[in-house]
Structure 1
Amino acid sequence: MELPHNGFKAALSEKRRQIGLWSSFSDPDVYELLAGCGYDWMMFDTEHSTVSPQEVAAFLRTLAPYPVNPIVRPGWNNPVEIKKLLDAGAQTLLIPYIQSVSEAREAVASTRYAPEGMRGVAGITRATRYGAVKGYAKTAASEICVLLQVETREALAHLDDIAQVPGVDGIFFGPSDLAASFGYPGEPSHPEVCAAILDGIRHLNKINVLGILSLDQEFLQEAADTGAVFIAVDVDSALLRQAALTRRATWA
């Protein structure tokens, strides 16, 4: 059996715009429904949810028949957590709260086997299709996509160096934590925060591929026009709540 192809990583390498949806529910039925809605990618969030690695594996199976690429966000830049998600079959990881070059290097190392990294070797896993993918340990890195989340002032100060760490496939701006870092908690669309993100996108365009999540559609369009390539345009729970509120309002 051949190593599964990572279509999302291929798209980023060609700077083809990828429109995504942020996901935090714990029910594969929800993801099966959403998988057929035309998004290029869906992000399974284990940082701000109760989702476990075992549930992630179920979600990956759910998406497998559909033309949508799964991304998984671990709870932290933790080699053990990252190892579990990779062994479950995740090929694209969005690693949160990266603030320095050393943290960026550690994130990449967590996705690589020795001697390039520190990922533990296990041959009979879902990632290897239970041993059916021949030579997995030697080729896995070619299809693993590492995205780093930049979400503090400290990270912005080291943006160039973080983006140029070998093995980093993309930089993702997190407006909510950036807003808190700037002193505006709960205000991800604050003008100072938006300006800092747009400056970062402009600056990094020639260095790496940029992504972002926001519920502010006007700002998202501005980020896209500035050069953001992988863009999360909404959150599943926000979509459900807004639809429910809108329907209820029609029967006020």
Structure 2
Amino acid sequence: MPAPENRFKAALRAGRTQIGCWAGFADPYATEVLSTANFDWLVIDGEHAPNDLQTIMHQLQVLDGKQSHAVVRLPVGNEWLIKQVLDAGAQTVLVPLVETGEQAAFLARAMRYPPQGIRGAGAALARASRFSAIPDYIATANDQVCLLVQVETARGLGNLDAILATDGIDGVFIGPADLAADMGHPGDAGHPDVQDTIRSALARIAASDKAAGILATDDATAQTYHGWGAQFLAVGIDVMLLARAARTAMELWTDRLGAE
């Protein structure tokens, strides 16, 4: 029996647009609720949300068999963190702040078992192998892992061609907020210079054999990014969706009571 098919990776290779959302509550209950929206992919965020290996694993468990494919974002590009989340059952990993082709190549090797990579072959006790119930897991897992790298600095964009030429990279994700800060416009991803840079980067990625990805937190921007070539597109963050809905409800009643 081989490793399970990575449906998200297959969709990217087929050129299909994948719509996703950020899961930032670090709680399996909230992630399970989010999965009922049937997004194509959900980011279990280990960089800016209070997740650890246990909470990531619990969210992977509730997403088993769901329409929404789990994408685990790590805090840093580290081989042992990659090994841990893959063993916990993740098939797709998003790594922030990738700036060189050499860094991208190292991450690609960290995702894979030898001889293609350096992933430790301890699958016998791993959730990924169904605790040894998938006898061919090690022999077949390399084909089903998916690596997405975030390019979010001027240095990274300067090395974008080298990153795109790296084997083992499935997609390149542009990080608007960090890019804006690095370009001298912190908190202003909508600045014309930042938007021009994003448009150029998405076009370059889309013209390669890699998929282009990005996050937008409003619909107009999401549509713009899709038109610029984004194939895997996150259209919201669960924490922000809840906060907006709650504030809107309270503002509505504050206005009503103030009018009495």
TM-score normalized by structure 1?
0.97
2:229 to 193, 218, 227: 227
**Equivalence for 1:46:** 46
Q: Distance in 2 between matches of 1:21 and 1:229?
A: 14
3-state SS in 1 of match to 2:129: coil
3-state SS in 2 of match to 1:112: coil
Please list, as runs of the form range in 1=range in 2, the aligned pairs for 1:89-238 lying within 5 A after superposition.
89-122=89-122, 123-207=124-208, 208-238=210-240
Q: What does the per-residue CA deviation read over 1:204-226, in whole Å, with 9 as the maximum and x for residues that have no partner? A: 22212100012143222111012
3-state SS in 2 of match to 1:134: coil
3-state SS in 2 of match to 1:22: strand
**Residue type of the partner of 2:159?**
H
**Equivalence for 1:83:** 83
Q: What does the per-residue CA deviation read over 1:156-202, in whole Å, with 9 as the maximum and x for residues that have no partner? A: 00111101200100000000100111011111222211110111111
Between structure 1 and structure 2, the one with the greater Rg is 2
**Equivalence for 1:61:** 61
Q: Distance in 1 between matches of 2:178 and 2:26?
A: 23
Q: Contact 1:194/1:219 (CA < 8 Å) preserved in 2?
A: no
Q: Distance in 2 between matches of 1:126 and 1:29?
A: 20
Task: Please report how far the alpha carbon of residue 16 of structure 1 lies from its aligned counterpart in structure 2 after TM superposition.
Answer: 0.4
**Residue type of the partner of 1:100?**
T
Task: Please report how far the alpha carbon of residue 54 of structure 1 lies from its aligned counterpart in structure 2 after TM superposition.
Answer: 1.3
**Residue type of the partner of 2:221?**
F
Task: Please report how far the alpha carbon of residue 131 of structure 1 lies from its aligned counterpart in structure 2 after TM superposition.
Answer: 0.6
| Number of equivalenced pairs | 252
Uncovered stretches (5+) of structure 2, i.e. residues with no partner: 255-260
Q: Contact 2:2/2:136 (CA < 8 Å) preserved in 1?
A: no
Provide the alpha-carbon RMSD of the alignment.
1.0
TM-score normalized by structure 2?
0.94
Q: Distance in 2 between matches of 1:103 and 1:174?
A: 17
Q: Distance in 2 between matches of 1:171 and 1:80?
A: 21
**Equivalence for 2:18:** 18
Q: What does the per-residue CA deviation read over 1:131-168, in whole Å, with 9 as the maximum and x for residues that have no partner? A: 11122112101110000000000000011110120010
**Residue type of the partner of 1:173?**
I
- Greater shift in the superposed pair: 15-24 or 209-218: 209-218
3-state SS in 1 of match to 2:134: coil
